[in-house]
Amino acid sequence: MSDRTPSKPGSATAAATPPAGVAGAVTPPGTRSITRTSCSAADKMIGRSVGKARILKRLGRGGMGDVYLCQHPDYDKAVAIKILPPDLTRNDELLQRFRREADSAARLDHPNLVEILDVGEENGLHFILMAYVDGMNLQEHLDDEGKLEYREAARIAYEVALGLGAVHGEGIIHRDIKPANILISTNREVKIVDFGLAFDAEDKTTLTVAGAVMGTPWYLSPEQAEGKRADARSDIYSLGVCLYLMTCGVRPFTGESHMAVLYKQIHERPRDPRFHRPDVPDYFADLILRALEKKPEKRYQSSHEIARALEMFLNNTYP
């Protein structure tokens, strides 16, 4: 791989035929990717119209709804629509989360974020219309490749950090950065997807379901694991977990239960990346460990700061 800093990617090219990946599709760790799993032909949404979009095929199921391939007369590229199941709209808290996802994502315009085209509600169906991106998510990529060459891991993390810079600049915390929510297009562009857990940093409301901690245990920051308020540094911790996984081929913390993983997130220190991979440069290993500090004040304090650190590594300008 070249030593130069990667250029910021542009918009992904939409495929004329249904590509392998879809923005907004979420895969729990350790399960087969939904973007590669055929969905039931008996889906009652197939053939229906929602707004101007005509639904063609179900592509997968995300944390807050199903994602479909659709045709739309206003766009000459492939589009996807994410729909919250009607039975869940009776849950005011879940509906609040969905609306917040739509409102926050629609404000953002950045090459490292999936493009949101429209949001709305029709006949009780709440939906987000988004660009359809040709590619696979990072979880799929890791399932295929295992651990990555560490400079490629740094490049992907750098692009994610740039996207998070735009997110945090709007006062939004993603709260669920994980490989399934990082999309890699066929031309190697990196985009953050699924703002199902996003919320405005100025809003004092904590979004939970039945008092449960929101997010994915393997990627939750210690403060999130304790049920405390998340901020931008929580997303940086989650990015650090992704970076550790990409580099080492294993997550920093595993356990027989979600509670066991949450306990380790709060109380245990991760093994040095060089334990798993001795060839990792010291600067890069220290970068990963700083992102994974237990106390937020010891981590990188902004997405821009960790992006600069990754840029220095990619440019070979680090100390």
CA dihedral 284, 290, 292, 296 (to 10 degrees): -160
Residue 166, number of CB atoms within 10 A of its CB: 18
What's the per-residue H, E or C state across 83-135?
ECCHHHHHCHHHHHHHHHHHHHHHCCCCCCECCEEEEEEECCEEEEEEECCCE
Instruction: Return the DSSP state at 184.
Output: E
Residue 64 has a pLDDT of 65
- The predicted structure's pLDDT at residue 198: 55
pLDDT at 88: 66
In terms of Cα–Cα distance, which of 119, 142, 136, 138 is closest to 64?
A: 119
Strand order from edge to edge, sheet including 116-122:
49-50, 53-62, 65-71, 79-83, 125-131, 116-122
What is the rounded CA–CA span in Å between residue 300 and residue 272?
18
Same domain, 171 and 121: no
For residue 97, give its domain range. 34-131
CATH number of domain containing 193: 1.10.510.10
At position 119, the amino acid (one-letter code) is: V
Residues 151 and 256 in one domain: yes
What's the domain count of the chain?
A: 2
Strands annotated E in 107-238:
116-122, 125-131, 135-137, 172-173, 182-185, 190-192, 199-200
* Residue 173 counted as domain residue: yes
Q: What is the CATH number of the domain that holds 94?
A: 3.30.200.20
Task: Note the maximum CA span of the chain.
Answer: 59
Mark whether 70 and 86 lie in a shared domain.
Answer: yes
Token duo for residue 19? 């590509």
Shared domain for 124 and 223, answered yes or no, is no
Active site residues: 176
The model scores a pTM over 0.85: no
Question: Using CA atoms, how far apart are residues 80 and 15, in angstroms rounded to an integer?
Answer: 12
pLDDT by residue for the chain (319 residues), tens only, comes to 333 334 333 333 333 233 333 333 333 333 333 344 444 445 888 999 998 999 999 887 766 678 899 999 999 888 999 887 766 667 787 677 767 767 777 888 899 998 888 888 888 888 889 888 888 999 999 999 999 999 999 999 999 999 999 999 988 888 889 998 999 999 999 999 876 445 545 544 444 443 344 568 999 999 999 999 999 999 999 999 999 999 999 999 999 999 999 999 999 999 999 999 999 999 999 999 999 999 999 999 999 999 999 999 999 999 8
Q: What is the pLDDT of residue 9?
A: 34
pLDDT in the model for residue 38: 41
